[in-house]
Amino acid sequence: MSNPTMEAKVHELMELKRMKEEIEAEITAAEDDIKAVMGDEELLTAGAYKVSWKTFTSSRIDTTALKKALPDVAAAYTKQTTARRFSIN
C-alpha cells in the first residue's frame, strides 16, 4: 500500500520518537544524579519530595532451564499469542 499523503504524519511521528528518546535520556541522567547522592541510603527527603531507592527481590521462572530440564512441562504451559508489530524504516 502506498500513501504519499501520510509522509508528513510519519515524519511527525519520527520527530516525536526522537524527542522522546532525548527526554528519556535526560530522565535517566537526573535519576542517576539522585542515586549518586543517595549512595547506599534507601530514603532521601528533598524538600516536599521523598525519594526511595530500595532493594527488592523478585522470583521468575528460568524458562531456558525449564525447557532443557522438563521440555514436556514447558511445552504444556507455553502459550502462543499473535500480535502485529508496527515499525518504520
For residues 16 and 13, what is the distance between their CA atoms, to the nearest angstrom?
5
- Residues 44-87 have pLDDT tens digits of 999 999 999 999 999 999 999 999 999 999 999 999 999 999 98
Q: What's the pLDDT score for residue 46?
A: 96
Question: 1 falls in which pLDDT band (50, 70, 90)?
Answer: confident
Entry pTM = 0.74
Q: What's the pLDDT score for residue 88?
A: 86
Q: Which residues does 44 contact at the CB level (< 8 Å), separation at least 6?
A: 34, 37, 38, 50, 51, 52, 53
